[in-house]
Amino acid sequence: MIMVVVSALLIFAYLVGSIPSGYLLCRFFFKLDITQHGSGNIGATNVARVLGNVNFFFLILFFDALKAFLVMCIADLVLHSQGVMFSQNYLVLCAAALLFGNACSIFLRFKGGKGVATALGALLYLIPLYLVILFVLAWACLFAITRQSFIASLGSIVVLTLYYGILVNIDLMFYFFVVLCGWLLVRHKNNLYQFFNHNR
């Protein structure tokens, strides 16, 4: 029974993660296929750049983070209602399913975004507030220095991983952070290649 519940939650997390907020905003309000403009990415940065308004960055960031956060809330409630032991382990799996859905959306022929906002929404539920603040401060500082959101995103998750591993604990969350670092690095490999070639 528990495995049925967990499997249903993972499918649910994947489907919600697959909802392409940036694509839907551009399609329904601006009659624009965002995958055919700018970098082709459906995330907050490309949407804001193509539409020429930074407010859309925060709007897409908010919606992508919110849907991930709500999925984590629902998953936690369901797991607790079923009396599932070690529910944190299953919540981490739900976070992974959210990221997979964002990157390989069933609604976009298994293409998708980079997953930063989705990761943020999941982390808001999984980790203490002071770690969220650390993540946000690291992101803001790195963005102020580089003016590149993907550098800020990668750098801030690395900072969070190192802080957690050195000063908190080497546990499941730490390994999730390590996987998340690798995931975001792979998702941003083209951005990194262009950035370093441009700055040679």
pLDDT tens-digit map of 3-47: 899 999 999 999 999 999 999 999 999 999 999 998 888 989 899
Q: What pTM value is reported for the model?
A: 0.91
Runs of H (alpha helix) within the chain: 2-18, 21-30, 44-51, 55-81, 87-103, 116-126, 129-146, 149-163, 172-187, 189-198
Residue 170 binned pLDDT confidence (cut-offs 50, 70, 90): very high
- Mean pLDDT for the chain overall: 91
Q: Look at residue 146 and tell me whether its pLDDT is greater than 70.
A: yes
- Arithmetic mean of pLDDT, 131-137: 93
Residues contacting residue 200 through CB under 8 Å, at least 6 positions apart: none
Q: Is residue 171 classed as helix, strand or coil in its secondary structure?
A: coil
Q: Which of 144-148, 178-182, 192-196 has the lowest mean pLDDT?
A: 192-196
Q: Look at residue 123 and tell me whether its pLDDT is greater than 70.
A: yes
Q: Look at residue 83 and tell me whether its pLDDT is greater than 90.
A: no
CB 13 within 8 A of CB 75: yes
Residue 178 binned pLDDT confidence (cut-offs 50, 70, 90): very high
Where do the structural domains in the chain lie, given as residue ranges?
1-114, 127-200
Query: How many Å apart are CA 86 and CA 173, to the nearest integer?
Result: 13
Q: Which residue has the higher pLDDT, 190 or 123?
A: 123
What pLDDT is recorded for position 147?
A: 87
What pLDDT is recorded for position 199?
A: 60
Q: Look at residue 196 and tell me whether its pLDDT is greater than 80.
A: no
What pLDDT is recorded for position 200?
A: 58
pLDDT tens-digit map of 49-81: 999 999 999 999 999 999 999 999 999 999 998
Q: Look at residue 99 and tell me whether its pLDDT is greater than 80.
A: yes
